[in-house]
Structure 1
């Protein structure tokens, strides 16, 4: 499958691509820049919003000028027109050792955000799990009881009765019965397991057939699992650390893929000149025409 380099961003940890159809743009982040970006793939024009701390996740909102951003020490409101950030909720963990990682809004406008163990590079600490949270304007930041050293792979199935969530270091993607009205999760089942040599399950996207596309961080590819969890195909990429994918383009027939360069040594960078780039493929299946936004 032909892979296009959309933008040689050289991101340290490019993440969380989100296509906005009415603007024909792709939002994405570099966790360690840290910054939020708005890219026009056609013209390559890009805007950026620098942030005061590592950004692990974000959600566009019902106010087109406002984005909810999960930074290392809390959840903030980012006003795009001014660049101002305002604290909404403190992180319920030690932000020196953990940070928020990956988030998504559901159909009712709730913001789901996970965490990861991410201490300073010179710290020799034993990995500790932390929680998955649900944030609303009225209820604030609430724990869900789900803990992991690294949350990833958030997505909902076609009728939004299942919530997918990867525990990346365990190499497992779980499927949870999802109650859209209450936002509660049922008892999890293993949806897919990723063997360690293949990489760890990172960000994901759902296609119009219910297929679950999973980035294999450290494994240099994507895997598509059918709705029943059966592996259907694997796509190889020219980067070893793809991080997440999202459908976009006017027909939702393009799969955009973010990637990371962090952790690669000089020889690896020489072999991967596009590490940290935004890539694109035409997978032969389209995405879903639904755009979930956080409700302010």
Structure 2
């Protein structure tokens, strides 16, 4: 598979690529520079929006605008750019990190401490009306979250564990959690993930310079070698949802690769699933 550059950028911590089906564009964030980026592959058009706080994730809303996972909680941007808080819950030393929208339109939002201390983060379900239910506590670095094509399974990563876990779902509840795959020591840490239309799980490896694909039974069947050391997450987008977009980071690197911080793309890598917009 060939690896191309979609957007050459010097993002400190690029993260959270999401295909906005309604707008035909990719949304991604630069967490530490407090920026939300969009990219339209049809014409190359880009936008950059500043947020007032570090932004862990930005996802499209069903009625237009964005829902964002910020340092102090969950915020909403309207189609006119106006901001409001949906959930405000500031905790000193903690920020929002990766997030994903479930098939029912709820946001599953992760948090972590800036020092990445064990137990300092969590994963919570945020309903469209702002009701919050903690799903997992005692998390260090809450990261990749995604669902199987039929919605019966959820995949989840707490990066320092080196595991991708799989959770059996009953409606909106997790009823069982078990290891799905483990990344061996020396190969990096699992970060963001996406699930394709065949139920395979694609995982970016921070400090591993790879994106890996695991079959639904947890078998590693494909590895994408990347020129950058710190890929952070991946998502399918573009025509037919066949192009794999990969966000990357340059933070913490003494000698980052020239493409570190850019948005990469692997054309015709597979077939993704249309993402659900946040219902609020």
Tell me, yes or no, whether TM beats 0.5. yes
TM superposition shift of 1:9:
1.2
| CA shift digits 1:86-138 (9 cap, x unpaired) | 122122x62x321111111111111100111214xxxxx95443221111143
Q: Are 1:10 and 1:276, in contact at CA under 8 Å, matched by a contact in 2? A: yes
**Structure 1 runs (4+) greater than 3 angstroms displaced:** 125-128
Please name the residue that 1:274 is paired with: 259
User: Equivalents in 1 of 2:117, 2:14: separation in Å?
Assistant: 26
Q: Does 1:207 align with 2:193?
A: no
SS in 2 for 1:209: coil
TM normalised by structure 1 equals 0.90
| CA shift digits 1:258-290 (9 cap, x unpaired) | 10111111xx22xx11000100113542112x2
TM superposition shift of 1:145:
3.5
Q: Does 1:232 align with 2:230?
A: no
Please name the residue that 2:77 is paired with: 78
Q: Are 1:163 and 1:176, in contact at CA under 8 Å, matched by a contact in 2? A: yes
Q: Are 2:87 and 2:130, in contact at CA under 8 Å, matched by a contact in 1? A: no
| CA shift digits 1:43-99 (9 cap, x unpaired) | 3221122100000123211111x2111110111111242x332122122x62x3211
Q: Does 1:103 align with 2:99?
A: yes
User: Equivalents in 2 of 1:262, 1:253: separation in Å?
Assistant: 29
1:123-202 counterparts in 2 under 5 A? 127-138=118-129, 140-180=131-171, 183-202=172-191
User: Equivalents in 1 of 2:238, 2:268: separation in Å?
Assistant: 12
TM normalised by structure 2 equals 0.95
- Aligned-pair Cα RMSD in Å: 1.6
SS in 1 for 2:176: coil
SS in 2 for 1:186: strand
Runs of at least 5 residues in structure 2 that lack an aligned partner in the other structure: none
Q: Are 1:11 and 1:277, in contact at CA under 8 Å, matched by a contact in 2? A: yes
Q: Are 2:27 and 2:59, in contact at CA under 8 Å, matched by a contact in 1? A: no
Please name the residue that 1:122 is paired with: none
1:20-99 counterparts in 2 under 5 A? 20-64=20-64, 66-81=65-80, 83-91=81-89, 94=91, 96-99=92-95
* C-alpha distance 86-26 of structure 1, shift in aligned 2 (>3 A): same
Q: Which has the larger displacement, 199-208 or 21-30?
A: 21-30
Please name the residue that 1:8 is paired with: 8
